[in-house]
Amino acid sequence: MSNIEQTLSIIKPDAVERNLQDQIKSEFKSNNFEIIKEKKIHILKEEAEKFYKVHESKPFYSDLCAYLSSGPIVVMMLQRENAVLENRKLMGATNPKDAEDGTIRKKYGISIDKNSVHGSDSVENAKIELDFFFKD
Ligand code: CMP
């Protein structure tokens, strides 16, 4: 049985700043993801705080929100079979140092903060995160 899902991907400021968005989009396309929607935006810190609310209690929350709002980002709705899990595999571990060879964070990430991409961590969160950026 097929299990087509959608997930949210963000190309973070460090990657947009280095002009890596086309290379990163190619990674998705060559791994059978369809980019259904995409937009380049620059969000306010208050919006980043809403987006990352699940991390509110973490010590890195404020820096994380300041960072996501520090420059343009590209947000995308990705679709494929098992998109949430497959995107997490393709991104690799949160810290690029721990990410496996061939993953996006290993190839392009600079640090745990500047790890180039965000991806939804569950089907439930994917719906919430896609609504956050793409609700009409
Ligand atoms: P992301 O997948 O966007 O989700 C939350 C982000 O917090 C994560 O990627 C990292 O870039 C960032 N972060 C910073 N410090 C940490 C940490 N110690 N553990 C997990 N995530 C962290």
Q: What is the pTM for the complete model shown?
A: 0.97
Instruction: Give one DSSP letter per residue of 45-78, joined into a string.
Output: HHHHHHHTGGGTTSTTHHHHHHHHTSS-EEEEEE
Domains and CATH numbers, the chain: 4-134 (3.30.70.141)
Backbone angles phi, psi at 115, to 5 degrees: -100, 20
Backbone angles phi, psi at 43, to 5 degrees: -95, 160
Angle at 124 between CA 122 and CA 126, to 5 degrees: 70
Atom in ligand 1 nearest the alpha carbon of residue 52: 5
Decide if 84 contacts 77 (C-beta within 8 A): no
* Ligand 1 center–CA 3 separation, angstroms: 28
Asked if residue 73 has pLDDT above 90, the reply is yes
Quick one: which H or E segment has residue 109? none
Active-site entry in 12, 88, 106, 118: 118
Residue nearest (by alpha carbon) to ligand 1 atom 3: 118
Ligand 1 neighbours (beta carbon < 6 A)? 55, 60, 64, 94, 112-113, 115, 118
Contacts by 56-64, CB closer than 8 A, 24 or more apart:
60/113, 63/113, 64/113
Residue range 35-42: mean pLDDT, rounded: 98
Task: Report pLDDT for 20.
Answer: 98
Adjacent-strand bridge partners of 77: 8, 37
Decide if 27 contacts 92 (C-beta within 8 A): no
Cα–Cα distance for residue pair 33/79, rounded to 1 Å: 5
pLDDT, one tens digit per residue, over 88-122 is 999 999 999 999 999 999 999 999 999 999 999 99
Strands 73-81 and 4-11, sheet pairing = antiparallel
